[in-house]
Chain A
Amino acid sequence: MSPRWQRLRGLARKEMLQILRDPSALLIAFLLPVVLLFVIGFGLSLDAHKLKLAAVIEAGSEPVRGISEALDASPYLNVYWAPSGQAARLALDAGQVRGILTMREDFAERLVNPQRWPAQAQLAVNATDPNTGTLLSGYVQGAFSSWLAGTMTEDVLTPPGGIALETRFWYNPDLRSSDFIVPGIIVLVMSMTGTLLTALIVSREWERGTMESMLAAPASMAELVGAKLGVYFVLGMASMAMAAILTVTVFGVPLRGSVLLLALISALFLIFALAQGLFISTIARNQFVSAQLAFLSTMMPAMMLSGMLFDIASMPRWLQLITCFIPARYFVSALQTLFLAGNVWSVLLPNLLALAVAAILATAATLAVTHRRLD
């Protein structure tokens, strides 16, 4: 056994003992993914089912009663029958309902008399979340149409020469938002175990002065960094495997691509994350600053700028350019494709390359910085 190999083994053993002695690293690697997956997976639903709507009816007659039933029957609406417009507005201001549907006195009269069509209903939506407004009006329209379809013949309703739009939803026909959010959580988990852990652990060595004594040991900088990266790499991959298994078993997200590719892409991202963590801790050398920098440079971008939650194409152009420098973006894109679409090389290959470049650059930068610090 070469002495270099022996040194590496010794260093790796030291790191492992350190992890086992303070279980917080293990908690981060294995408890945190579970907590994140369950809370985000079940809690963060972007499906807009059951929107709360206040309805105010100023005239009650036969057709309006039919409409009320249709609104109540809609799977997307949760209707609160408000006694007055004022009560409805109060509920809207307090955030209890997302919109108010008002049918005035002449609504029923005009509805039964085709000469006086259209009967007008007013829908006021709380537009603080603009999309909810769009969806709500779509759902109300849907409830009206299903009532109309039940009461009137088709040629009254659709004028000849109309255009029918047939919409097909591919890759996720049930439109479950958890199918794209849950694979994205893996990115969060990896950022946590990767960057945060290494950032904290090494900055602690600097803070306590044990880093200097390690540097005085007969091991090269590359060996020190290698041993640290190696141990946390194993930890990170294990936590990633657990997260992937939970994604498939508990959340029922299909894994249409290959497991091997998933492992390869994750490994590349993990190397980047680990190197970045070492880099941060070397320049910060203080746990509070390290934690804030790790949070700022990994967690938040992984959540906000990676396309995990928010569509990159809808961001302003300058911000889209910035996201190109965030490796999490490529990882999210690869994960969503691997899970939901399969081995689509035209998407995966550029992402793989970008992640490989990021991993190499981050490792090189870390080595450079630590070498300089040696002086």
Chain B
Amino acid sequence: MLARILALVLKELTSLWADKKTRFVLIIPPLVQVVLFANAATYDVMHVPLAVWNEDAGVQSSELIRGFTYSRAFAAGPEVFSPMQAQSALESKQAAAVLHVPQDFSADILARRTTHVQLLIDARRSNTALIVSAYASQIVSAYAAKVTRAGAGPVDIALTYLLNPSLASRWLILPALVVILSMMMTTMISALSLARERELGTFEQMLVTPLRPVEIMLGKAVPSLLVGLLEANIVLLAALLLFGVPFKGNLLLFQFTLVVFSLAGVAVGLAISSFTHTQQQAILGVFIYAAPAIVISGYASPIENMPLILQWASKLDPITYMLVISRGMFLTRLPVSLIWAQSWPMILIAVALLAMATQAVRRSVV
């Protein structure tokens, strides 16, 4: 039995590697994606173009404005001189925010009267708007504390950053890319491997060989699994070497969880291909599965904000579990008990789907 499976595995790997274009698609795109997306996928708010409408001629207002332009969050945008101009700067996206300093700002400060400044924010991109307003209020209150030389307020909150003291959002993205890029590859390859045989009619030929359905499934599963591991490790290496993300967990244990996860990915692919008759349908099936599965996994936004029904659905999604493991093992020494708690659901998903796909193959034998 082992020899037969091995033969099938070798055949699959050869057919993947023999085609120059396929070889290219297996190696280059993951690397390109890592470099591009690790830089693109950032919720950091930086260089927000700020238009200034300054009606005040005093020193104080320029000091306040310098506070804005010197900060990392803002970049100097166009100057405006009327509400109309402010509106058109926002509307045309030349500025993402407009700071309005009123006429008597400096006079008020010198006379120790409370004064008002306005900030108009383009909230089309709501999450950026929220962060921009938080930065602005920090800058304004820092300046206010300086000019009033008042004693401290009643409560002071001392903020410390844990796990990612340099505040780089790449640390959040790269562990996720390890998971998602390898998943796309394993699912796609395994879904196509069965569908291609069906479409070309070689599936029937395989059924008349001495191979049993379980052996066919294993022979199809192992190569995709190996490719998935390869992809994950390419991205892992890039994260460690190119981007300097630390890896605090146990690498060997991480490889074990990757095997479990890839197995689940393969099982999904094989289950999809057992429903389909052509490669085209299989590819579309993978896309219909992958897009929602990535979204509900908590990759781009926290699961706790989702509606309940999607929170439940995320429990059936292997990516959800592997994301927790990957992010945890990169940044902390995740306890083995927690790793296991995330691993067994993936094993369960893999076994259930593999059994289902084997059953489907068995039916086509009869």
Chain B nearest CB from A66 CB (Å) reads 12
Chain B nearest CB from A182 CB (Å) reads 12
Q: CB distance B153 to A92 under 8 Å?
A: no
Instruction: Kindly state whether residue B82 has any CB partner on chain A within 8 Å.
Output: no
Q: CB distance B91 to A341 under 8 Å?
A: yes
Q: CB distance A319 to B39 under 8 Å?
A: yes
With both beta carbons as reference points, the residue of chain B lying nearest to A148 in the complex is identified as B154
With both beta carbons as reference points, the residue of chain A lying nearest to B121 in the complex is identified as A169
- Contacting residues of chain B (134-173) with chain A, CB-CB under 8 angstroms: 134-137, 140-141, 143-144, 147-148, 150-165, 167-169, 171-172
Measured in the bound complex, the distance between the Cα atoms of B160 and A291 in whole Å is 45
Q: Render A26-56 as a binary contact track against B, CB cut-off 8 A, 1 for contact.
A: 0110011001100110111111111010000
Q: A48 and B127 in contact (CB under 8 A), knowing A158-B114, A168-B119, A291-B188? A: yes
Instruction: Kindly state whether residue B328 has any CB partner on chain A within 8 Å.
Output: yes
For residue A92, which residues in chain B have a CB less than 8 angstroms away from its CB? 162
Instruction: Kindly state whether residue A357 has any CB partner on chain B within 8 Å.
Output: no
Instruction: Kindly state whether residue A282 has any CB partner on chain B within 8 Å.
Output: no
Measured in the bound complex, the distance between the Cα atoms of B175 and A128 in whole Å is 11
Q: CB distance B280 to A22 under 8 Å?
A: yes
Q: CB distance B121 to A125 under 8 Å?
A: no
Q: A128 and B283 in contact (CB under 8 A), knowing A118-B154, A118-B155? A: no
Q: A344 and B301 in contact (CB under 8 A), knowing A200-B280, A286-B21? A: no
Instruction: Kindly state whether residue B264 has any CB partner on chain A within 8 Å.
Output: no
Q: Which one of A131, A166, A175, A288 lies within 8 Å of B118 (CB-CB)? A: A166
Measured in the bound complex, the distance between the Cα atoms of B303 and A52 in whole Å is 12
Q: A311 and B32 in contact (CB under 8 A), knowing A42-B306, A289-B22? A: no
With both beta carbons as reference points, the residue of chain A lying nearest to B328 in the complex is identified as A95
Stretch at the interface among A3-11, A137-145, A363-371: A137-145
Instruction: Kindly state whether residue B69 has any CB partner on chain A within 8 Å.
Output: no
Q: CB distance B120 to A168 under 8 Å?
A: yes
Q: A162 and B144 in contact (CB under 8 A), knowing A122-B160, A175-B126, A287-B279? A: yes
- Contacting residues of chain B (98-134) with chain A, CB-CB under 8 angstroms: 108-109, 111-131, 133-134
For residue A52, which residues in chain B have a CB less than 8 angstroms away from its CB? 304
Chain A nearest CB from B223 CB (Å) reads 13
For B49, B126, B150, B172, which residue has the most chain A Cβ atoms within 10 angstroms? B126
Q: Render A286-305 as a binary contact track against B, CB cut-off 8 A, 1 for contact.
A: 11110111011001100011
Instruction: Kindly state whether residue B278 has any CB partner on chain A within 8 Å.
Output: yes
Q: Render B310-342 as a binary contact track against A, CB cut-off 8 A, 1 for contact.
A: 100000000000001001100110110010000
- Contacting residues of chain A (321-357) with chain B, CB-CB under 8 angstroms: 322, 333, 336-337, 340-341, 344, 346-347
Q: CB distance A24 to B281 under 8 Å?
A: yes
With both beta carbons as reference points, the residue of chain A lying nearest to B96 in the complex is identified as A313
Q: CB distance B158 to A121 under 8 Å?
A: yes
Chain B nearest CB from A120 CB (Å) reads 5
Instruction: Kindly state whether residue B17 has any CB partner on chain A within 8 Å.
Output: no
Instruction: Kindly state whether residue B66 has any CB partner on chain A within 8 Å.
Output: no
Measured in the bound complex, the distance between the Cα atoms of B157 and A52 in whole Å is 18
Measured in the bound complex, the distance between the Cα atoms of B155 and A4 in whole Å is 81
For residue A169, which residues in chain B have a CB less than 8 angstroms away from its CB? 121, 123, 126, 129, 133
Measured in the bound complex, the distance between the Cα atoms of B156 and A119 in whole Å is 6
Q: CB distance B158 to A122 under 8 Å?
A: yes
Q: Which one of B29, B153, B162 lies within 8 Å of A125 (CB-CB)? A: B162
Q: CB distance B40 to A310 under 8 Å?
A: yes
For residue B119, which residues in chain A have a CB less than 8 angstroms away from its CB? 165-168
Instruction: Kindly state whether residue B305 has any CB partner on chain A within 8 Å.
Output: yes
Instruction: Kindly state whether residue B192 has any CB partner on chain A within 8 Å.
Output: yes
Q: Which one of B96, B152, B184 lies within 8 Å of A118 (CB-CB)? A: B152
For residue B291, which residues in chain A have a CB less than 8 angstroms away from its CB? 32, 35-36, 39-40, 188, 299
Q: Which one of A117, A200, A316 lies within 8 Å of B283 (CB-CB)? A: A200
For residue A28, which residues in chain B have a CB less than 8 angstroms away from its CB? 284, 287-288
Q: CB distance A22 to B278 under 8 Å?
A: yes
Measured in the bound complex, the distance between the Cα atoms of B96 and A78 in whole Å is 31
Q: CB distance A128 to B171 under 8 Å?
A: yes
Known contacts A170-B90, A289-B21; 19 additional CB pairs below 8 A are A27-B284, A45-B305, A114-B154, A117-B153, A123-B158, A123-B159, A126-B164, A131-B169, A133-B167, A156-B154, A161-B144, A163-B117, A164-B114, A164-B116, A168-B120, A171-B123, A287-B279, A288-B25, A292-B29
Provide 14 A-B residue pairs closer than 8 Å at the C-beta atoms, listed in order of the A residue. A44-B295, A120-B155, A125-B162, A126-B164, A133-B159, A163-B109, A164-B114, A167-B133, A284-B21, A295-B287, A305-B36, A309-B300, A311-B42, A314-B128
| A-B pairs with lowest CB-CB distance, top 9 | A159-B150, A161-B112, A118-B156, A127-B161, A169-B123, A172-B123, A39-B292, A346-B92, A130-B167
